Amino acid sequence: MPLVSLNPATGRLIKRHREHTAKEAASALAAVHSGFLGWRELSLPDRARHLTALATILRAQKKSLAQLMTAEMGKPLAQARAEIEKCAAGCDFYAKHAARFLKPRRPVAAPKNACVVFEPVGVVLAVMPWNYPFWQFFRAAAPTLMAGNTLLLKHASNVSGCALAIERLFADARLPAGILRTLLASSKSVPALIADPRVRGITLTGSTAAGRKVAALAGAALKPCVLELGGSDPYVILADADLDHAAEICAQARLVNGGQSCVSGKRFIVVESVRPVFEQKFLARLQARRVGDPLLADTDLGPLARADLRADLHDQVQKSIKKGAKLLIGGTLPKGCGFYYPVTALTGVRPGMPAYDEELFGPVAAIISAKDEADALRIANDTAYGLGAALFTRDRRRGTTLARERLDAGMVFVNDFVRSDVALPFGGVKDSGLGRELGEFGIHAFVNIKTVWVK
Protein backbone atom coordinates (compact mmCIF):
# COMPACT_ATOMS: atom_id res chain seq x y z
CA MET A 1 0.00 0.00 0.00
CA PRO A 2 1.55 3.37 -0.99
CA LEU A 3 2.34 6.09 1.54
CA VAL A 4 1.16 9.40 0.12
CA SER A 5 2.88 12.77 0.49
CA LEU A 6 0.74 15.77 -0.46
CA ASN A 7 1.77 19.41 -0.59
CA PRO A 8 -0.52 20.97 2.05
CA ALA A 9 -0.24 24.41 0.45
CA THR A 10 -1.76 23.15 -2.81
CA GLY A 11 -3.27 19.77 -2.01
CA ARG A 12 -1.32 18.30 -4.90
CA LEU A 13 0.50 14.99 -4.89
CA ILE A 14 4.24 15.13 -4.24
CA LYS A 15 4.94 11.41 -4.38
CA ARG A 16 3.55 8.00 -3.63
CA HIS A 17 6.11 6.02 -1.66
CA ARG A 18 6.08 2.26 -1.79
CA GLU A 19 5.64 0.68 1.62
CA HIS A 20 8.45 -1.66 2.56
CA THR A 21 7.62 -5.34 2.49
CA ALA A 22 7.84 -7.60 5.52
CA LYS A 23 11.06 -9.00 4.10
CA GLU A 24 12.54 -5.50 3.69
CA ALA A 25 11.49 -4.59 7.24
CA ALA A 26 13.19 -7.70 8.57
CA SER A 27 16.32 -6.84 6.61
CA ALA A 28 16.35 -3.28 8.01
CA LEU A 29 16.04 -4.53 11.57
CA ALA A 30 18.77 -7.11 11.02
CA ALA A 31 21.02 -4.36 9.63
CA VAL A 32 20.66 -2.03 12.62
CA HIS A 33 21.10 -4.94 15.04
CA SER A 34 24.32 -5.93 13.27
CA GLY A 35 25.35 -2.27 13.20
CA PHE A 36 24.87 -2.02 16.95
CA LEU A 37 27.37 -4.80 17.59
CA GLY A 38 30.08 -2.69 15.94
CA TRP A 39 28.90 0.81 16.96
CA ARG A 40 28.87 -0.04 20.66
CA GLU A 41 32.58 -0.90 20.46
CA LEU A 42 33.55 2.56 19.21
CA SER A 43 35.06 4.93 21.74
CA LEU A 44 33.10 8.00 22.75
CA PRO A 45 35.53 10.29 20.89
CA ASP A 46 34.97 8.25 17.72
CA ARG A 47 31.20 8.41 18.09
CA ALA A 48 31.52 12.15 18.72
CA ARG A 49 33.45 12.62 15.48
CA HIS A 50 30.65 10.92 13.59
CA LEU A 51 28.00 13.14 15.20
CA THR A 52 30.04 16.23 14.39
CA ALA A 53 30.19 15.07 10.76
CA LEU A 54 26.43 14.65 10.81
CA ALA A 55 26.02 18.22 12.09
CA THR A 56 28.25 19.47 9.26
CA ILE A 57 26.16 17.67 6.64
CA LEU A 58 22.92 19.00 8.14
CA ARG A 59 24.18 22.56 7.84
CA ALA A 60 25.53 22.00 4.34
CA GLN A 61 22.16 20.68 3.15
CA LYS A 62 20.01 23.04 5.20
CA LYS A 63 18.45 24.79 2.21
CA SER A 64 17.30 21.66 0.40
CA LEU A 65 16.18 19.91 3.60
CA ALA A 66 14.12 22.93 4.62
CA GLN A 67 12.46 23.07 1.22
CA LEU A 68 11.56 19.40 1.45
CA MET A 69 10.10 19.89 4.93
CA THR A 70 8.03 22.86 3.79
CA ALA A 71 6.75 20.97 0.77
CA GLU A 72 5.68 17.93 2.79
CA MET A 73 4.12 19.49 5.90
CA GLY A 74 3.70 23.20 5.20
CA LYS A 75 6.10 24.75 7.71
CA PRO A 76 7.17 28.32 6.76
CA LEU A 77 10.58 28.12 5.14
CA ALA A 78 12.36 30.27 7.71
CA GLN A 79 11.12 28.00 10.51
CA ALA A 80 12.18 24.93 8.52
CA ARG A 81 15.73 26.27 8.18
CA ALA A 82 15.82 26.99 11.91
CA GLU A 83 14.71 23.41 12.58
CA ILE A 84 17.63 21.98 10.60
CA GLU A 85 20.04 24.25 12.44
CA LYS A 86 18.62 23.04 15.75
CA CYS A 87 19.22 19.43 14.69
CA ALA A 88 22.86 20.25 13.96
CA ALA A 89 23.20 22.00 17.31
CA GLY A 90 21.79 18.93 19.04
CA CYS A 91 24.42 16.71 17.39
CA ASP A 92 27.16 19.15 18.41
CA PHE A 93 25.88 19.27 22.00
CA TYR A 94 26.00 15.53 22.53
CA ALA A 95 29.29 15.16 20.68
CA LYS A 96 30.76 17.64 23.16
CA HIS A 97 29.12 16.56 26.43
CA ALA A 98 28.25 12.85 26.15
CA ALA A 99 31.54 11.65 27.62
CA ARG A 100 30.83 13.57 30.83
CA PHE A 101 27.21 12.39 30.96
CA LEU A 102 28.29 8.76 30.55
CA LYS A 103 31.35 8.84 32.77
CA PRO A 104 31.36 6.07 35.42
CA ARG A 105 30.49 7.45 38.82
CA ARG A 106 30.35 6.43 42.47
CA PRO A 107 27.01 7.41 44.00
CA VAL A 108 26.88 9.27 47.30
CA ALA A 109 27.58 6.92 50.24
CA ALA A 110 28.35 4.00 47.90
CA PRO A 111 31.18 1.61 48.89
CA LYS A 112 34.59 2.68 47.65
CA ASN A 113 34.99 -0.45 45.56
CA ALA A 114 31.68 0.02 43.71
CA CYS A 115 30.70 2.26 40.80
CA VAL A 116 27.95 2.76 38.25
CA VAL A 117 28.61 2.49 34.53
CA PHE A 118 26.36 3.22 31.57
CA GLU A 119 26.08 0.70 28.73
CA PRO A 120 24.03 0.86 25.51
CA VAL A 121 21.00 -1.41 25.28
CA GLY A 122 20.79 -2.07 21.53
CA VAL A 123 18.36 -1.12 18.77
CA VAL A 124 15.92 1.69 19.60
CA LEU A 125 12.73 1.98 17.55
CA ALA A 126 11.87 5.62 16.86
CA VAL A 127 8.21 6.24 15.96
CA MET A 128 8.12 9.86 14.88
CA PRO A 129 5.46 12.48 13.97
CA TRP A 130 5.13 14.88 11.05
CA ASN A 131 5.07 18.29 12.76
CA TYR A 132 8.84 18.59 13.29
CA PRO A 133 10.02 15.92 10.85
CA PHE A 134 13.74 16.41 11.47
CA TRP A 135 14.01 17.82 15.00
CA GLN A 136 11.75 15.25 16.66
CA PHE A 137 14.01 12.52 15.30
CA PHE A 138 17.37 14.16 15.97
CA ARG A 139 16.52 15.18 19.54
CA ALA A 140 16.03 11.47 20.23
CA ALA A 141 18.75 10.20 17.90
CA ALA A 142 21.72 12.31 19.02
CA PRO A 143 21.77 11.08 22.66
CA THR A 144 20.73 7.56 21.67
CA LEU A 145 23.61 7.25 19.21
CA MET A 146 26.20 8.74 21.56
CA ALA A 147 25.13 6.24 24.20
CA GLY A 148 26.12 3.50 21.73
CA ASN A 149 22.70 2.41 20.46
CA THR A 150 21.44 2.22 16.88
CA LEU A 151 18.08 3.29 15.46
CA LEU A 152 15.21 2.04 13.33
CA LEU A 153 13.04 4.96 12.17
CA LYS A 154 9.31 4.55 11.48
CA HIS A 155 8.21 8.03 10.47
CA ALA A 156 4.77 9.51 9.80
CA SER A 157 3.62 8.48 6.35
CA ASN A 158 2.97 12.00 5.05
CA VAL A 159 6.65 12.96 5.55
CA SER A 160 8.19 9.87 3.99
CA GLY A 161 10.43 12.09 1.88
CA CYS A 162 11.92 13.58 5.04
CA ALA A 163 12.35 10.09 6.51
CA LEU A 164 14.34 8.94 3.48
CA ALA A 165 16.36 12.16 3.52
CA ILE A 166 17.38 11.44 7.12
CA GLU A 167 18.76 8.06 6.08
CA ARG A 168 20.67 9.71 3.21
CA LEU A 169 22.17 12.23 5.65
CA PHE A 170 23.76 9.40 7.60
CA ALA A 171 25.24 8.00 4.40
CA ASP A 172 26.45 11.42 3.26
CA ALA A 173 28.13 11.95 6.64
CA ARG A 174 29.82 8.55 6.16
CA LEU A 175 28.59 7.09 9.39
CA PRO A 176 29.15 3.33 9.72
CA ALA A 177 26.61 1.15 7.92
CA GLY A 178 23.72 -0.07 10.03
CA ILE A 179 23.58 2.85 12.45
CA LEU A 180 20.17 3.95 11.16
CA ARG A 181 17.61 2.50 8.80
CA THR A 182 14.36 4.15 7.72
CA LEU A 183 11.36 1.88 7.46
CA LEU A 184 8.50 3.08 5.27
CA ALA A 185 5.52 1.42 6.88
CA SER A 186 2.11 2.05 8.40
CA SER A 187 1.47 2.03 12.13
CA LYS A 188 0.30 -1.59 11.77
CA SER A 189 3.98 -2.61 11.62
CA VAL A 190 4.80 -1.24 15.08
CA PRO A 191 3.51 -4.07 17.33
CA ALA A 192 5.66 -6.72 15.63
CA LEU A 193 8.72 -4.48 15.83
CA ILE A 194 8.22 -3.82 19.54
CA ALA A 195 7.83 -7.55 20.16
CA ASP A 196 11.05 -8.43 18.32
CA PRO A 197 13.77 -9.26 20.88
CA ARG A 198 16.36 -7.26 18.91
CA VAL A 199 14.48 -4.02 19.63
CA ARG A 200 15.50 -2.97 23.15
CA GLY A 201 13.78 0.39 23.51
CA ILE A 202 11.06 2.53 21.96
CA THR A 203 10.81 6.29 21.64
CA LEU A 204 7.56 7.78 20.37
CA THR A 205 6.36 11.31 19.83
CA GLY A 206 2.69 11.45 18.97
CA SER A 207 -0.84 11.47 20.31
CA THR A 208 -1.83 10.27 23.75
CA ALA A 209 -3.88 7.48 22.14
CA ALA A 210 -0.83 6.26 20.23
CA GLY A 211 1.27 6.53 23.38
CA ARG A 212 -1.11 4.33 25.36
CA LYS A 213 -0.93 1.62 22.70
CA VAL A 214 2.87 1.72 22.51
CA ALA A 215 3.20 1.78 26.30
CA ALA A 216 1.01 -1.32 26.58
CA LEU A 217 3.06 -3.15 23.95
CA ALA A 218 6.36 -2.08 25.50
CA GLY A 219 5.16 -3.10 28.95
CA ALA A 220 4.15 -6.52 27.71
CA ALA A 221 7.60 -6.92 26.17
CA LEU A 222 9.34 -5.47 29.27
CA LYS A 223 11.10 -2.78 27.27
CA PRO A 224 11.80 0.85 28.22
CA CYS A 225 10.01 3.57 26.33
CA VAL A 226 10.03 7.36 26.17
CA LEU A 227 6.65 8.84 25.23
CA GLU A 228 6.32 12.52 24.32
CA LEU A 229 2.59 12.97 23.79
CA GLY A 230 -0.05 15.67 23.51
CA GLY A 231 -0.40 18.89 25.41
CA SER A 232 -2.91 21.63 26.13
CA ASP A 233 -0.45 24.10 27.55
CA PRO A 234 -1.88 26.80 29.83
CA TYR A 235 -0.49 30.31 29.61
CA VAL A 236 -1.49 32.11 32.80
CA ILE A 237 -1.67 35.91 32.71
CA LEU A 238 -1.82 37.37 36.23
CA ALA A 239 -3.14 40.80 37.13
CA ASP A 240 0.34 42.31 37.47
CA ALA A 241 1.65 41.02 34.13
CA ASP A 242 3.22 43.26 31.49
CA LEU A 243 0.28 42.88 29.11
CA ASP A 244 2.08 44.09 25.98
CA HIS A 245 4.86 41.58 26.55
CA ALA A 246 2.42 38.81 27.46
CA ALA A 247 0.28 39.43 24.38
CA GLU A 248 3.27 39.27 22.04
CA ILE A 249 4.74 36.14 23.60
CA CYS A 250 1.35 34.41 23.70
CA ALA A 251 0.71 35.17 20.03
CA GLN A 252 4.12 33.79 19.13
CA ALA A 253 3.56 30.72 21.27
CA ARG A 254 0.14 29.98 19.79
CA LEU A 255 1.12 30.34 16.14
CA VAL A 256 4.62 28.88 15.84
CA ASN A 257 4.60 26.00 13.33
CA GLY A 258 1.02 26.93 12.49
CA GLY A 259 -0.01 26.04 16.03
CA GLN A 260 0.91 22.41 15.33
CA SER A 261 3.20 21.88 18.28
CA CYS A 262 2.74 19.89 21.46
CA VAL A 263 4.13 22.82 23.48
CA SER A 264 2.23 25.59 21.72
CA GLY A 265 0.32 27.83 24.09
CA LYS A 266 -3.28 26.69 23.75
CA ARG A 267 -5.32 27.82 26.79
CA PHE A 268 -4.83 31.48 27.70
CA ILE A 269 -6.04 31.87 31.27
CA VAL A 270 -6.41 35.53 32.20
CA VAL A 271 -7.34 37.10 35.52
CA GLU A 272 -10.63 38.84 34.79
CA SER A 273 -9.50 42.29 35.96
CA VAL A 274 -7.05 42.49 33.04
CA ARG A 275 -8.79 40.18 30.56
CA PRO A 276 -10.44 42.87 28.37
CA VAL A 277 -7.16 44.76 27.90
CA PHE A 278 -5.12 41.59 27.33
CA GLU A 279 -7.71 40.26 24.90
CA GLN A 280 -7.53 43.43 22.81
CA LYS A 281 -3.74 43.40 22.69
CA PHE A 282 -3.61 39.65 22.04
CA LEU A 283 -6.05 39.82 19.13
CA ALA A 284 -4.11 42.67 17.54
CA ARG A 285 -0.96 40.58 17.53
CA LEU A 286 -2.72 37.45 16.30
CA GLN A 287 -4.25 39.38 13.42
CA ALA A 288 -0.87 40.88 12.50
CA ARG A 289 0.48 37.45 11.54
CA ARG A 290 0.45 36.71 7.83
CA VAL A 291 -1.06 33.45 6.58
CA GLY A 292 0.14 32.43 3.13
CA ASP A 293 2.53 30.52 0.94
CA PRO A 294 5.08 28.91 3.28
CA LEU A 295 7.81 29.41 0.67
CA LEU A 296 7.52 33.22 0.91
CA ALA A 297 9.82 35.04 3.31
CA ASP A 298 7.08 37.18 4.88
CA THR A 299 4.75 34.28 5.70
CA ASP A 300 4.20 33.61 9.39
CA LEU A 301 1.75 30.73 9.03
CA GLY A 302 1.47 28.15 6.33
CA PRO A 303 -1.29 25.56 5.91
CA LEU A 304 -2.11 22.76 8.28
CA ALA A 305 -0.34 19.54 7.37
CA ARG A 306 -3.35 17.48 6.24
CA ALA A 307 -6.98 17.95 5.23
CA ASP A 308 -8.25 15.65 7.99
CA LEU A 309 -6.38 17.65 10.64
CA ARG A 310 -8.03 20.85 9.41
CA ALA A 311 -11.46 19.20 9.47
CA ASP A 312 -10.93 17.97 13.03
CA LEU A 313 -9.78 21.41 14.21
CA HIS A 314 -12.74 23.16 12.60
CA ASP A 315 -15.09 20.67 14.22
CA GLN A 316 -13.59 21.49 17.63
CA VAL A 317 -14.11 25.20 17.00
CA GLN A 318 -17.72 24.79 15.86
CA LYS A 319 -18.63 22.52 18.78
CA SER A 320 -17.12 25.01 21.23
CA ILE A 321 -19.17 27.83 19.72
CA LYS A 322 -22.36 25.75 19.92
CA LYS A 323 -21.63 25.19 23.62
CA GLY A 324 -21.35 28.93 24.26
CA ALA A 325 -17.86 30.10 23.32
CA LYS A 326 -17.71 33.46 21.55
CA LEU A 327 -15.84 33.65 18.25
CA LEU A 328 -13.62 36.76 18.18
CA ILE A 329 -11.73 36.20 14.92
CA GLY A 330 -11.39 33.50 12.28
CA GLY A 331 -13.31 30.25 12.51
CA THR A 332 -14.31 30.06 8.84
CA LEU A 333 -12.98 27.50 6.39
CA PRO A 334 -11.29 29.37 3.53
CA LYS A 335 -12.03 28.64 -0.09
CA GLY A 336 -9.34 27.60 -2.52
CA CYS A 337 -6.69 24.93 -2.61
CA GLY A 338 -4.53 23.80 0.24
CA PHE A 339 -5.27 23.05 3.88
CA TYR A 340 -5.19 26.57 5.29
CA TYR A 341 -7.02 27.57 8.46
CA PRO A 342 -7.40 31.17 9.63
CA VAL A 343 -5.98 32.50 12.87
CA THR A 344 -8.87 31.99 15.28
CA ALA A 345 -9.62 33.11 18.82
CA LEU A 346 -12.43 32.05 21.15
CA THR A 347 -13.36 33.67 24.42
CA GLY A 348 -15.77 32.60 27.13
CA VAL A 349 -14.27 29.12 26.95
CA ARG A 350 -15.46 26.81 29.76
CA PRO A 351 -15.28 23.14 30.80
CA GLY A 352 -17.22 20.83 28.53
CA MET A 353 -16.07 22.60 25.38
CA PRO A 354 -13.46 21.01 23.09
CA ALA A 355 -11.46 24.25 23.28
CA TYR A 356 -11.17 23.74 27.05
CA ASP A 357 -10.91 19.96 27.35
CA GLU A 358 -8.98 18.91 24.24
CA GLU A 359 -5.73 19.72 22.47
CA LEU A 360 -6.20 22.25 19.66
CA PHE A 361 -3.56 21.40 17.06
CA GLY A 362 -3.67 24.47 14.88
CA PRO A 363 -3.89 28.29 15.04
CA VAL A 364 -6.81 28.50 17.49
CA ALA A 365 -6.49 30.32 20.82
CA ALA A 366 -8.85 29.58 23.71
CA ILE A 367 -9.22 32.50 26.15
CA ILE A 368 -10.44 31.55 29.62
CA SER A 369 -11.35 34.02 32.36
CA ALA A 370 -10.21 33.45 35.96
CA LYS A 371 -11.42 35.26 39.07
CA ASP A 372 -7.97 35.67 40.60
CA GLU A 373 -4.54 34.06 40.85
CA ALA A 374 -5.74 31.00 42.75
CA ASP A 375 -8.54 30.41 40.26
CA ALA A 376 -6.13 30.83 37.31
CA LEU A 377 -3.78 28.20 38.71
CA ARG A 378 -6.69 25.85 39.38
CA ILE A 379 -7.86 26.18 35.77
CA ALA A 380 -4.31 25.71 34.47
CA ASN A 381 -4.08 22.35 36.24
CA ASP A 382 -7.62 21.34 35.28
CA THR A 383 -6.50 19.22 32.33
CA ALA A 384 -5.51 15.67 31.57
CA TYR A 385 -2.30 17.00 30.06
CA GLY A 386 0.88 18.24 31.69
CA LEU A 387 3.55 19.01 29.12
CA GLY A 388 4.38 22.71 29.35
CA ALA A 389 3.00 25.82 31.03
CA ALA A 390 3.81 29.51 31.12
CA LEU A 391 3.06 32.23 33.62
CA PHE A 392 3.24 36.02 33.24
CA THR A 393 3.87 38.36 36.17
CA ARG A 394 6.09 41.34 36.96
CA ASP A 395 7.02 39.69 40.26
CA ARG A 396 9.77 37.30 39.13
CA ARG A 397 10.29 35.88 42.63
CA ARG A 398 6.58 35.10 42.98
CA GLY A 399 6.55 33.69 39.45
CA THR A 400 9.44 31.38 40.27
CA THR A 401 7.66 30.05 43.36
CA LEU A 402 4.44 29.41 41.45
CA ALA A 403 6.35 27.72 38.61
CA ARG A 404 8.13 25.39 41.03
CA GLU A 405 5.23 24.57 43.33
CA ARG A 406 1.83 25.19 41.76
CA LEU A 407 1.79 24.20 38.08
CA ASP A 408 1.51 20.53 37.10
CA ALA A 409 3.75 20.31 34.05
CA GLY A 410 7.07 18.94 32.94
CA MET A 411 8.26 22.43 31.97
CA VAL A 412 7.21 25.85 33.24
CA PHE A 413 8.42 29.14 31.76
CA VAL A 414 7.94 32.51 33.45
CA ASN A 415 7.39 35.49 31.14
CA ASP A 416 8.40 33.47 28.07
CA PHE A 417 7.05 30.77 25.78
CA VAL A 418 7.62 27.05 26.28
CA ARG A 419 10.20 25.44 24.00
CA SER A 420 12.85 22.76 23.99
CA ASP A 421 16.50 23.43 24.72
CA VAL A 422 19.07 20.76 24.01
CA ALA A 423 20.63 21.13 27.48
CA LEU A 424 17.37 20.82 29.44
CA PRO A 425 15.07 17.82 30.02
CA PHE A 426 11.99 17.81 27.80
CA GLY A 427 8.82 15.88 28.62
CA GLY A 428 5.58 15.91 30.54
CA VAL A 429 3.40 14.37 33.21
CA LYS A 430 -0.12 12.90 33.25
CA ASP A 431 -1.40 12.20 29.71
CA SER A 432 1.51 14.11 28.18
CA GLY A 433 3.86 11.18 28.44
CA LEU A 434 6.61 9.28 30.19
CA GLY A 435 10.34 9.85 30.45
CA ARG A 436 12.52 12.73 29.33
CA GLU A 437 14.45 13.69 26.23
CA LEU A 438 17.43 16.05 25.92
CA GLY A 439 20.11 17.09 28.38
CA GLU A 440 21.84 14.51 30.56
CA PHE A 441 18.48 12.90 31.34
CA GLY A 442 17.91 12.22 27.66
CA ILE A 443 21.10 10.24 27.18
CA HIS A 444 20.22 8.00 30.13
CA ALA A 445 16.85 7.03 28.64
CA PHE A 446 18.26 4.03 26.79
CA VAL A 447 21.23 2.77 28.76
CA ASN A 448 21.82 -0.07 31.17
CA ILE A 449 22.68 1.63 34.45
CA LYS A 450 24.98 -1.08 35.73
CA THR A 451 26.42 -1.48 39.22
CA VAL A 452 29.99 -2.84 39.25
CA TRP A 453 31.41 -4.02 42.61
CA VAL A 454 35.02 -5.21 42.76
CA LYS A 455 36.35 -6.85 45.91
By annotation, the residues acting in catalysis are: 228, 262
**Full DSSP string of 425-438:** -B--SGGGEES-BS
Distance between CA atoms of 261 and 130, rounded to whole angstroms? 10
DSSP letter, residue 333: P
Read out DSSP for 271-332?
Answer: EGGGHHHHHHHHHHHHHHSPBS-TTSTT-SB---S-HHHHHHHHHHHHHHHHTTPEEEE--S
What b/e string do you get for 115-137 counting C-beta neighbours within 10 Å, with b at 16 or more? beebebbbbbbbbbbbbbbbbbb
Name which of 325, 370, 380 is nearest 348 in CA terms.
Answer: 325
| 297 burial level (CB within 10 Å; 0-12, 13-18, 19+) | exposed
Q: Tell me, what amino acid is at 283? A: L
Identify each DSSP E strand in 155-238 by its residue range.
Answer: 180-182, 199-205, 225-228, 233-237
Crossing angle between the packed helical segments 44-60 and 135-146, to the nearest 10 degrees: 160
Number of H helices and number of E strands within the chain?
15, 17
DSSP per residue, 83-147? HHHHHHHHHHHHHHHHHHHTS-B--TT--TTEEEEEEE-SEEEEE--SSSTTHHHHHHHHHHHHT
Read off φ and ψ for residue 291, nearest 5 degrees. Answer: -100, 130
Task: Please tell me the distance from the alpha carbon of residue 18 to that of residue 149, in angstroms, as a whole number.
Answer: 28
According to DSSP, the β-strands at 114-120 and 447-453 are antiparallel
